[in-house]
Each structure stands twice: as C-alpha cells, then as structure tokens.
Amino acid sequence: MQLENRVAFVTGAGSGIGAAGAKALAFEGAHVVVTDRDRAAAEAVAEAIVQEGCRAEPRTLDVRDDTALRSAIADSFEQHGRLDILHSHAGIQIEGKLEDVEVEHMDASWALNVRSHFVAAQAALPAMRANGAGSVIITASNSAIQYDREMIAYCTTKHAILAMTRQMAADYAPENIRFNALCPGFIDTPFNRGFEIQMGGRHKLEDYIANAIPMGRFGTVEEIADSIVFLASDRSSFMTGHALVIDGGECI
C-alpha cells in the first residue's frame, strides 16, 4: 500500500470527490480524519472505510470557522503524532456574472474557496515540518486555468487558489512540503448545481458535456480519487506547484 501508516486530514469529505478521495486514501493504508459540516455524512464515510478493514474517524467541521479548523488539525496531529496529507477540499459554487452576484456571495465564495484553504494549510504546516515532509492537496478546478461564462465568483476564487498554491509550493519546497492543486472538470456530483442553473437546467449541462468536452462525458469521482492518491503518495515526490487538470480535455 502506497500510504501505509500515514495520516490524512480531509475537509468536505462527506460526499462527492471528498468522500471518494477519503476512501481511496484509506484503502491505500492511510488513517483518514474524515471531516464535514454534516456530521451524519462524515460518519457514513468513515463507517464505510472501517467496514472495509481500513482506518478512519469522523469529525464535524465547518471550515469557515478559523478556530475550529485550526483546532481540528492541531488535535489530529496531537492524537496521531503526525500529519502527512492534507486534502483541503471544501468549496462552494455560486453562479452569475458581475451584475448578478451580490457582494456577500463573493465574500462567501472567497471564504470557502480561498480563505479556508489558507487557514488549513497554515495549520498543517507545523505538523508537516515536524515530520520533515508533507503533501498538501487543494481542490481548485479546471476553472482555475480557463474562464467560465457567467461564473465570476467561482472562476475568480479558483484562479486565486491556484496562485496561492503555487506560492506556497515555491516557499516550502526546500522543506519537502509539497503543495499541488487538484483541478477537476465536470464530475457528476451535486456540486454542479451552480452550472446547471447558469446553463438553464440539467439537460443543457448534459448537452454541453456531450458536445464541448472531447471525451464526451462526465468524469467519475473514482477517477479523481486516483489522482488524489497520486498527489498524496511518493509517486508524485518531485511534483509541487502543479495544477493537475482532469477534465476529459475540456480545457484544450
């Protein structure tokens, strides 16, 4: 197993990509701290991992609470004596162009899509420094490397998190603490609701997928989970500051 005896902390792990990634990390040997603001969802994911004979624990966490986020990461390090992997995944998708998005909606996007990742990475740094290594994976989007029509809050914050990830990668590469951005395209999860609204319904999104994406389909959470394991493991040991785009060729 690629991640035997390592400890991983995952935010937004109660469903979708976060849940699939948490399971994949555990199945490769990591002890996974499964966090989500929905306690029942976190418990269900952790229980599914344990039922497979792997190690996980659930924790209720709203990453918009800086104090709670810092405490959860510090407590995990204190309990397990190490923190090898942080997958900072929680985010939000708000649709609309400049005239449609209220300032408070832009603030909400910034809080989840940028600030929470900053706080989580900052909190994980002492533990990873104590280990002499670490892998921080931050979920961005292929929207971080292109521009989506009428998605100003989402696109702006995803570009920002990619820039921040690269800055952290440059700063901490000498300490063998790696920072990479996970950049999925359209994965078939409820997170696409903002794009469905913006495009005019599920059928319009499906038409877009069929015609605009070279592979002509949604990606699966399992395909993204494989990339999470890669970024977490020593197989990507010489990779930092990278935007790993998995989008069926949409950004080509």
Name the residues annotated as catalytic: 154
* Cα separation, 90 vs 222, whole angstroms: 17
Cβ neighbours, 10 Å, residue 111:
16
Contacts of 109 (CB under 8 A, 6+ apart): 92, 94, 153, 154, 156, 157
Place of tokens 């063998």: 176
| Sheet of strand 56-60, all strands in order from the earlier edge strand to the far edge | 56-60, 31-36, 7-10, 85-88, 134-139, 177-184, 243-246
- The H or E element spanning position 58 is strand 56-60
Per DSSP, the three-state class of 69 is helix
Residue 187 burial by Cβ neighbours in a 10 Å radius (0-12, 13-18, 19+): buried
Conformational region of residue 113, where left means phi above 0, alpha means psi within -120 to 50, and beta covers everything else: alpha
Q: What is the DSSP string of 177-213?
A: EEEEEEEE--BSSGGGHHHHHHHTSHHHHHHHHHHHS
Q: What are phi and psi of 124, to 5 degrees?
A: -80, -20
